[in-house]
A = this chain, B = another copy of it.
């Protein structure tokens, strides 16, 4: 028996909007510690990891570990039927091949339940090793989204270069090239607006903007995003899910074999 009650149901709606474009089908794994998901995107290039800790739910009952395969598009459609202030409860009986989402309006005058068939999905649960990163950038998530969107109008890849002074996002296209430099800046009114760089070593890596722009679908979840970079390691783009956990996106850097063709540094 599984029963998870989340008063701030809009969080779950946002989580699904954040990953449904990247991943079609995935297993949600439920254990006593929390509700999580790990999946490769459909082209097997990026990886998304979601964790919602048990403590973040108003009620969390999970008698035994269970893996529920869902089509994230259908799940997102269903969640769109919930009001933004609704309380969402996820229920599954032991041995059942369905999951039920219950939506309660704040006044309790409207109660909806949506039952969805579960799917069998081959999951390849990768252990993601903890790593030390050469540079970790924390910045306003909306700023990061705008930069990725802007640069994608010029080129296909972005070079992210971090130094003590700041972080530079560069791209180059056929007819134009662009660089956006953000200075480290911690003297802001709201901590959310800060751009903070923790760095042991300067680093410069290249990524496909297409995936970055998928990751930024998670922007509504958090005012800040954390970008962790190391040579030879996938970048981690992380959005906190209020008090509950996170969504992390992993993407391997491009290896620049042919400088003339692919090096966006201007």
Q: Which residues of A contact B (CB under 8 A)?
A: 71, 74, 77-78, 80-81, 107-117, 143, 150, 153-154, 175-183, 185, 195, 266
A109 touches B178 (CB 8 A): no
B109 touches A195 (CB 8 A): yes
Residues of B close to A177: CB separation below 8 A: 114-115
A154 to B108, CA, bound (A): 23
CB distance from A121 to the nearest CB of B (A): 14
A169 to B93, CA, bound (A): 24
Q: Which of B71, B78, B179, B183 contacts A113 (CB 8 A)?
A: B179
**Known A74-B175, A74-B176: A182·B109 in contact at CB below 8 Å:** yes
Other A-B pairs beyond A81-B150, A114-B178, A115-B177, 20, CB < 8 Å: A74-B175, A77-B153, A78-B153, A78-B176, A80-B150, A80-B153, A81-B153, A108-B183, A110-B143, A110-B181, A110-B182, A110-B183, A112-B178, A112-B179, A112-B180, A112-B181, A113-B178, A116-B175, A116-B176, A117-B175
CB distance from A225 to the nearest CB of B (A): 15
Residues of B close to A111: CB separation below 8 A: 180-181, 183
Which of A111, A112, A195 is most buried by chain B, counting CB atoms within 10 A of its CB? A112
